[in-house]
Structure 1
Amino acid sequence: MVTSTGKQAENGQAAMHRPAVVTAEAWEAARRELLVKEKVQSRARDALAAERRRMPWMPVYKSYAFEGPNGKVSLLDLFEGRHQLIVYRAFYEPGVYGWPEHACRGCSMVADQVAHVAHLNARDTTLVFASRAPQGHIATLKQRMGWNIPWVTITDGFDFDFGVDEWHGTNVFFRDGDQVFRTYFLNNRGDEQMGGTWNYLDITPLGRQEAWEDSPAGYPQTPTYKWWNWNDSYVAGAEPDLKWVEVSDAGEAAFREQSARGG
């Protein structure tokens, strides 16, 4: 049943129609009914990510050059020694609406949503934004908008070669020694939901690297929750904090108990 708000909006538009107002018990029943469908969607999303981890890789033989804060860097340099690289093509350059004070509004919303990159780095993954704006403009923009994302200047045909010359897009790469592979690409509505750590990891070839994931044999995996840390406390190669292990173990046990009861 859908009911009306009972009055016209002040701006003259038709009154908004809203769902039924019900008791707490009826509301909880409706929530549980929807939860069944949401769990199906979650499992489907996990299965899709597992399939993505099995996609074929495309070798990248061409050399690409970018300008970074400290000078010229290659595509290989962008990995910063890690195995996975995510490159988002952000439109900030002459001709973009808002230049030079602002980048594209849509790309700026993506930048506003990006979680602290330390969590990605802890999963052997580097995130980089790339535009055609000079580094001086990029530095000014980042300071003004409060962005700490690594951001380089495209100086060659990288954007044309990887499908992001006329529209935004996210490319994922994997490094095996000095050989780089393109492993995934998304754009359009696929880009608009990016920004969170989990969404980024789910488009990488190694995934979240947690033990529950369906990944090919030999892929790195660690116990769920145990690698999580404060963004200023990650230490490369460090063992999980023992106190956090106790806390997360207790949380998992409580979750399993609740699930067994049908919660």
Structure 2
Amino acid sequence: MSLPKIVSPQEWQIAHEKLLAREKEVTRILDALAAERRRQPMVAFEKDYVFVTAAGEKVGLADLFDGQRQLIVYHFMMEAGSDHRCPGCSAVADNLPHLEHLEQRDTRLVLVSPAPQAQLQEYRERMGWPLKWLSCDQEFNDDCGAGAGSTLSVFLRDGEKVYRTYFTGARGLDKLRLDLNLLDLTPYGRQEFWEDSPEGWPQSAPYQWWRPRDEY
């Protein structure tokens, strides 16, 4: 297994300061992108979608806000009757923080899946997640562009009116995973084939190493 290049402390500091300057440039770009995202037009979500809570209560989309103005919905990949437990979605749920910090900024986060509550709660209890996880109609996932995949939707509530403001999937979900972001800071990175790493550094196929954490 190859090692990173070994240099003197002075050489390391020069290289590190050069990297920090580039990181600062990227941070400013991300700040500008976030400002543009805040100004993106909205679209009304007016259908009478039905969600089922862990207690079996049927609620609407506006109810998911629980009095807050903003709502983040993670579309957890789980189909009714399927034994598959998505390792990527499981890792996202593992990495979600205590949500009290979000709630102090008028924001709620929930998981939704087009599967019955008995199926959701069995896995939720197995993994020990305190997250609110609701059953949804497949129509809601389809209208959000999620289909049968894992994605993220953001909504804004104005009274009883709900608007969709943002949506992302694929690599856009990486920001939800602290583990991947920490690996990006290490010499070997995520150790996946797609990464631009020096010759001889450890790499394997993406996604295939992911498991629900109790299956490693």
TM-score (norm 1): 0.64
Q: Does 1:79 align with 2:65?
A: yes
Partner SS state of residue 164, structure 1: coil
**Is contact 2:77-2:148 (8 Å) kept?**
no
Amino acid at match of 2:22: K
Q: Does 1:143 align with 2:125?
A: yes
Structure 2: runs of 5+ lacking an equivalent: 179-216
Q: Percent identity?
A: 44
Q: Distance in 1 between matches of 2:4 and 2:34?
A: 34
- Bigger CA drift: 146-155 or 80-89? 146-155
Amino acid at match of 1:112: D
Structure 1: runs of 5+ lacking an equivalent: 1-15, 197-263
Structure 2 counterpart of 1:51, from 36, 42, 67? 36
The 3 A distance-change label for structure 1 pair 94 and 135 is: closer
Q: Distance in 1 between matches of 2:5 and 2:174?
A: 31
Amino acid at match of 1:125: T
Q: Distance in 1 between matches of 2:30 and 2:52?
A: 36
Partner SS state of residue 165, structure 1: coil
User: Structure 1 residue 193: deviation in Å?
Assistant: 2.4
**Is contact 1:132-1:155 (8 Å) kept?**
yes
Paired position in structure 1 for 2:137: 155
Give the alignment of 1:11-50 within 5 angstroms. 16-50=1-35
Partner SS state of residue 18, structure 1: coil
Higher relative contact order (CA 8 A, sep 6+): 2
Partner SS state of residue 102, structure 2: helix
Q: CA RMSD in A?
A: 1.7
Q: Distance in 1 between matches of 2:24 and 2:52?
A: 44
User: Structure 1 residue 65: deviation in Å?
Assistant: 0.5
* Equivalenced residues, count: 178
Amino acid at match of 1:88: Y
Q: Distance in 2 between matches of 1:147 and 1:63?
A: 28
TM-score (norm 2): 0.77
Partner SS state of residue 166, structure 2: strand
